[in-house]
Amino acid sequence: MRQGGRPAEAVRHQLAMDGLAEIVASHEEEHGALTEQEIEAARRELFGDVNAEDVERGAA
């Protein structure tokens, strides 16, 4: 039985996360580790006022 676009969507999501991890690693290599404030600002910009626990669970 075919599961529709879910496997392809999961692969796209994983590739995007891998790309983001590379971007963050490159930035941190050049500028040092991101602060909690920088991470929170990025989270708000990406997801609005959703709290961190919801984002980590994928609820955003």
Average pLDDT for the chain? 84
Q: Is 51 helix (H, G, I), strand (E, B) or coil?
A: coil
Q: Is the pTM of this model over 0.85?
A: no
Question: What is the C-alpha separation between 7 and 34, in angstroms, rounded?
Answer: 32
pLDDT, one tens digit per residue, over 31-57 is 999 999 999 998 999 889 866 565 566
Could you give the residue ranges of the DSSP H alpha helices within 1-60? 6-31, 36-47, 52-57
Residue 1, pLDDT above cutoff 60: no
Q: Return the pLDDT at 23.
A: 93
Q: Return the pLDDT at 49.
A: 80
Mean pLDDT of 16-41: 94
